[in-house]
Amino acid sequence: AQRVTQPEKLLSVFKGAPVELKCNYSYSGSPELFWYVQYSRQRLQLLLRHISRESIKGFTADLNKGETSFHLKKPFAQEEDSAMYYCALINYNQGGKLIFGQGTELSVKP
Amino acid sequence: DSGVTQTPKHLITATGQRVTLRCSPRSGDLSVYWYQQSLDQGLQFLIQYYNGEERAKGNILERFSAQQFPDLHSELNLSSLELGDSALYFCASSVAIGTGSDTQYFGPGTRLTVL
């Protein structure tokens, strides 16, 4: 079954510390993975997608097919990074619906 | 701003009632998706429309229905509302049918409260 797992419900770090938000997936085929960010339960904003290999707001994520992971990383956390982060994969077998993980709340303390 | 609009922003209603949520996709996007976000279930896919046709169905209750109109806006109808239907309902749109490099852009959501 297709599934996305974010093992940490809450991650708390100090400003300037490195951050790694974990995401593991289960998908038969070649996955397309995304990270979305949600500030204060407002709209979901696309942070990055693995096929574009870009860095947004200092965040990067590498797809590791061997470990079936797509962890989100940032070397130096900022207070404005505090938000909910959702990892998602797109299920082509069902029209392109997004399957989301349960989300990780990142709290960056001053 | 993603370009996806949703109305209303907030909706408060009573059990047993029926409501309609509206979504306008980004200009040029043919696909519309509906998601429900609740504290216990997280983000769940409900249904997808592509150019007016239903494309995929997820965990959508029989009391819920949706449609996409010729101008590509979409409506999600929720009837016989129960307390457990209280949630944030998001609409997203994408250019095509969700393959390849297609990316879904989300609207601001409609917060439904059922009393």
Chain B: residue whose CA lies nearest to A95: B56
User: Using CB atoms, which residue from B2, B37, B98 is nearest to A97?
Assistant: B98
| B101 band by pLDDT with thresholds 50, 70 and 90 | low
| Pure H helices in chain A | none
For residues A4-22, average pLDDT = 97
Nearest C-alpha neighbor of B68 from the set B89, B50, B86: B50
> Looking at residue A61, what is its pLDDT?
93
Q: Do B90 and A94 touch (CB under 8 A)?
A: no
pLDDT tens, position by position, B6-37: 999 999 999 999 999 999 999 999 999 999 99
Residue B88 has pLDDT above 70, yes or no: yes
Nearest C-alpha neighbor of A21 from the set A78, A85, A81: A85
Q: How far is CA B63 from CA A37, A102, B32, B79, in A?
A: 30, 25, 20, 5
The distance of B18 to chain A (nearest Cα, Å) reads 24
Which residues of B fall within a CB distance of 8 Å from A34?
103
| B65 band by pLDDT with thresholds 50, 70 and 90 | very high
Tokens found for residue A110: 């001053």
Q: Is A80 helix (H, G, I), strand (E, B) or coil?
A: helix
> Looking at residue B100, what is its pLDDT?
57
Q: Is A94 helix (H, G, I), strand (E, B) or coil?
A: helix
β-strands A44-49, A33-38 pairing: antiparallel
Q: How far is CA A102 from CA A94, A99, B73, in A?
A: 20, 10, 29
More confident residue, A63 or B113: B113
User: Using CB atoms, which residue from B35, B88, B99 is nearest to A92?
Assistant: B99
| Cβ pair B83, B73 in contact under 8 A | no
- Give the DSSP letter string of B14-34: -TT--EEEEEEPPTT--EEEE
Q: How many helices (H) and strands (E) does chain B have?
A: 0, 11
| B64 band by pLDDT with thresholds 50, 70 and 90 | very high
Percent of chain B with pLDDT over 70: 96
pLDDT tens, position by position, A67-108: 999 999 999 999 999 999 999 998 777 777 889 999 999 999
Q: What is the DSSP letter of A69?
A: B
Using CA atoms, how far apart are residues A54 and A64, in angstroms rounded to an integer? Answer: 16
Q: Do B97 and A90 touch (CB under 8 A)?
A: no
Q: Which residues share a beta bridge with A19?
A: A74
Q: Is A92 helix (H, G, I), strand (E, B) or coil?
A: helix
The mean pLDDT value of chain B amounts to: 92
| B1 band by pLDDT with thresholds 50, 70 and 90 | confident
Contacts of residue B100, Cβ cutoff 8 Å, sequence gap at least 6: none
| B59 band by pLDDT with thresholds 50, 70 and 90 | confident
